[in-house]
Every structure is written in structure tokens, then in C-alpha cells.
Amino acid sequence: MSDINEVIKNKKTNINPIWIMRQAGRYLPEFRDIRKKNTDFIKLCLNYELSAEITLQPLKRFELDAAIIFSDILMVPYGLNQKVEFKKNFGPILGELNLQEILNFNEKDFTQKLKPVYMALDLVKKNDLTKNKSTIGFVGAPWTLLVYLINRKSPKQKLISNFFQNSHSIEKILPVLDKFLKIHIKNQIDNGAEIIQIFDSWAGLLETKDLPKYVYFPTLSLVEYVKSQNIPVICFPRGIKDYKIYCDNVKPDAVCIDYETDPIQIRKNITIPVQGGMDPKVLLSDKENLKKEARKYLDIFKDHPYIFNLGHGVLPETDPNMMDYLVKMVKDY
């Protein structure tokens, strides 16, 4: 069993596993070389050999405890035939949502469209670099995907003004997302994913009164499904105000915290294993500051099952040497 699984399943506190969100990607020169030749991001995610190679790149450099598949949460809308493209310095742009089409979408067609993602996972799982390490698959939470489907771009700070006006469409879309997210999860598990992380990147946009309907219940449905496959599930409800209420309602095996959350309060209130927290910008500072900030989290959670990670993805301008320093420091703690 990998160290991450030990922390999640057996609540081990004497080990400090580390993996980093977006560890495979933009800050690594070897990734940028591939990206230069492969300008279409979705096509790159669907090139299973390159996707597997990118997933393994950080494991060749750093002593990380997990490989997280190089993919994107928007592969699910893509799998449902919504147009998805990534514009430089802007982010994702999604095409018009054809409600009738996604309501009648065929499971086989969906799996076929995303088959390269599963083939990449299979290659990663079989590689010697992932021996005794966790292979992580992931999905976007239903609420976050709903935001992209309707907003059709990253909301950054706010949703389109009439977002909730078409409640009829929302009521119909959520069960479709539930169904196809479970298919996507199952296909990842069948091809080697030993942990699933659910990213709710836009959980922080909702008012407290709307959380049960859009976040708690839809995510709990996925969490229960992952658990039924005997696979641990980590949830990352970024920007949520009350992690305790979230954990009590959604019941993940571990919770990933964002960098605006007070880790001391988390330590007091959360009983399940905790992951993450450190601000990715700390990696842009100097080694002294990096050591101080990383140790802060390690000290706070030293008697609590904890997986070191950031409170969001690694930034593109990060120096790989700083990442190397961080990984070694966490391992030596």
C-alpha cells in the first residue's frame, strides 16, 4: 500500500506523503517542449502516449508519492459532445449547450470518446516509476461542471447574471452529470486509478443556502459511488467557508483545503485525513520562506493524518528547483 493510501485508510501520522496539484505540466521545461508541438490542449489530453509521458515527467524528477493523470475536468463535457477549447491567456471556452443531445447521450459513445484517457492511465499504472506510489484519477464535481456548461467559460469571480434563471435546465443537467461522472470514475478505476479526487473549483461562488442542493447532495452521490468501488476519495471544495459542515455532509475519505483556509481551525474541527493548504505563490519566493511555510503545515498536522499538497495548482512560473527543495524537505521532516 502506498504512503498516501496508508494516511487515508489507516490514518497513519508517522509518514509525510506529498503530491502536488498540477504537478504534471506548465512549470516543467520538458512539458513545455511537448506543448509547443501540441497546441490543441484537448487533443493533447487525448494522445494517450503523450498524456502518460507527461503524467510521469514529475516522477522522473522528484520523489513524489503519486502520479495524477494528465487530463482535465472538462473532458466530461467534451465526452458529452459539448465543444471545449482552451484559449491562451484566457482559459476554457465551451460551445452552446445542446440539452436534448446530452439528455439522450449514449454511454458507449461517451466511453469511446474518452478512451485515450483510460489508456493513458493504464500505461501509467504499468510503468515502473509508479511502483509503491498511488495513481490518482479525478473528476470535476457536479456543481463546478454545471458552472462551465452554463457559463461556458471560467467564472473567475462571478457567474453570468441569469445563471439560475433556467432552473428547468439545471434540474435536468444535474442527473446527467451524475450518471456520466460515475461512468468516468469507473472507467478510471478499471484502468488503474487507486484514488479519485473530486475538484469543486467553484464551490466558493455559492451562498450557504444553496450548498446542499448544488454541492453537498450531488457530491455525496459521487463519494458514495467511489466508496462502493473500495477506492478512497479526496474532495477539494475550493473556497468553501465551512469545511466541517462540508465534511459532515459529503463524507469524503480525505479533504483537501485551499490556501485561504486557517489550518489551525481545520486541525481543531476536522477528524478525517487532511491534504494541502499551502499557497502556491510560496514556491515563487525563496527557500527560507518556503521552508518556513511548509513546516507550518507539517507542524500543525504532525499528529493528524496529513498529505502535503498545495491549496491550489502549482503555478506555471514555478522554478522546478524550488519544487525539488520542497519535496526533499517534506520527506526529511
Residues 6 or more apart whose Cβ sits within 8 Å of residue 258: 236, 238, 239, 276, 277, 311, 312
**Is 28 strand, coil or helix?**
coil
Given this model, what pLDDT does residue 161 score?
A: 86
pLDDT confidence band for 7 (50 / 70 / 90)? very high
**pLDDT tens digits, 138-189:** 999 999 999 999 999 998 867 888 888 878 889 999 999 999 999 999 999 9
Q: Is the pLDDT of residue 125 over 70?
A: yes
Q: Which domains does the chain have, with CATH numbers?
A: 3-332 (3.20.20.210)
Edge-first strand order for the sheet with 66-68 is 66-68, 134-140, 195-200, 233-237, 254-257, 274-276, 306-307
**How high is the mean pLDDT of the chain?**
96
**pLDDT tens digits, 262-274:** 999 999 999 999 9
**pLDDT tens digits, 20-71:** 999 999 999 999 999 999 999 999 999 999 999 999 999 999 999 999 999 9
